[in-house]
Amino acid sequence: MSVANAKHTVLNPVIPYTGPIPGGLHPGEIIIIQGTVPPDADRFQIDLSSGCSTKPRSDVALHFSPRFKGSPRVVCNSLLQESWGQEETLHQLPYKCGAPFETIVLVRRDVFKVAVNGNHLLSYKHRIPLNRVDTFSISGKVRVHAVGYIPTSSIPYKGSLLKGLSPGQHITIKGQVSVYPHSFTVNLCNSRTENIALHLNPRMKSGVFIRNSYLSETWGQEERELPFFPFSSGEYFEILILCQPHQFKLAVNGSHLFEFRHRVQDLSSIDQLEIMGDLDLTDVKLCLATVAQMMDAKRSAKETCADLWFTPPPPKKERKAQVTDLKANPVINRPDNRLNDPPLQPRTRGLMHEHHLCLSIGGCGPP
């Protein structure tokens, strides 16, 4: 994830650091902390609190403290009226001394969810009303490169691929599956004709991952074969879609999943990405470089990759519904009224997270 997507970013703060959370915290928002643990670290802590008073000390909604000495662990707690509550201890430490890290705090209505280096770590139930939390602090043995506050993602999402797709380019989608999910959908489509070159529809209840196309007002033949189903309720995920000359290749969480042969010949006509359904979206990027260019150390991520932009959906007529599996999936297989959603706000630009493309997509040789 890139802190460049944030509504507010603090770069290289002096530790200890305390600063305001712009606008306070709201469900769906994300705090991202990128830094490095020094080799001699014993502990550090992240606090989300109600103000920054020291006498009397402000209430702390979330005290998150990785501890490296003795029994490695993560301790969470809350401070209310200058009294600490019951500690919650996780005897699992994803941080390593001398290594970089990325910590993500996702704000939910009833819990904070914390992920480290792309993996869910813990959930911590609110003990203090969320609307009172307005201050972020970090202290201890830690070096912080950036702190970013990312607003609630807009679902449904529409992103413009200004020049369409071409072989060698890839799209990265990062997010979290909802707690009680039915399904979500990713479409690579043409904004003018309604044609969908690639329709991805993972269905969590049935464990089925549908792939299809929608061309000339007709759904094509579904593809369902799958080595494993990669999505789980409440879990973070990263989807990578690689465009090759004759097919798309798709990986989830670093594991190659399947190929989908192109049913649209003119790849440059694929000028829009749509995402909707039961997920929280945290990051979407189109990498403009080919695989060979990505392996060229002389090209920076800034030169080759860019966030996609939200664009208002143009007026469209209703698509015909895909009729397969109608009883089992009534939400997916209905007329596409979502195209009348109000315009969405633009995302800010950002840099691509470095990706081991050849390993995660199952090889970079010819399809």
Q: What integer pLDDT is reported at residue 308 of this predicted model?
A: 45
In tens, the pLDDT along 76-122 reads: 999 999 999 999 999 999 999 999 999 999 998 899 999 999 889 99
SS3 for 3?
helix
* Six token digits for residue 135: 């201050």
What is the amino acid identity at position 133? V
Instruction: Give the domains, in start order, of the chain with CATH numbers.
Output: 3-150 (2.60.120.200), 157-360 (2.60.120.200)
Q: What integer pLDDT is reported at residue 353 of this predicted model?
A: 32
* Six token digits for residue 71: 């029994």
Q: What integer pLDDT is reported at residue 194 of this predicted model?
A: 87
Find all residues with CB under 8 Å of 31, minimum gap 6, and list them: 21, 48, 104, 105, 107, 136, 147, 148, 149, 150
Average pLDDT, the chain: 81
Q: What percent of the chain has pLDDT over 70?
A: 76
SS3 for 102?
strand
Neighbours of 27 (CB within 10 A): 12
Give the residue among 285, 303, 354, 363 at the shortest CA–CA distance from 117. Answer: 354
Residues 170, 281 contacting (CB under 8 angstroms): no
Residue 295, pLDDT > 80, answer no
Pairwise CA distance, residues 157 & 159, whole Å: 7
Over the Cα atoms of the chain, what is R_g?
22
Query: pTM to 2 decimals?
Result: 0.55
Q: What integer pLDDT is reported at residue 255 of this predicted model?
A: 94
Residues 34, 96 contacting (CB under 8 angstroms): no
Write out the DSSP string of 79-130: EETTEE---EEES-----TT-EEEEEEEE-SSEEEEEETTEEEEEEE-SS-G
In tens, the pLDDT along 54-78 reads: 889 999 999 999 999 999 999 999 9
In tens, the pLDDT along 11-47 reads: 999 999 999 999 899 888 899 999 999 999 999 999 9
Q: What percent of the chain has pLDDT over 90?
A: 62
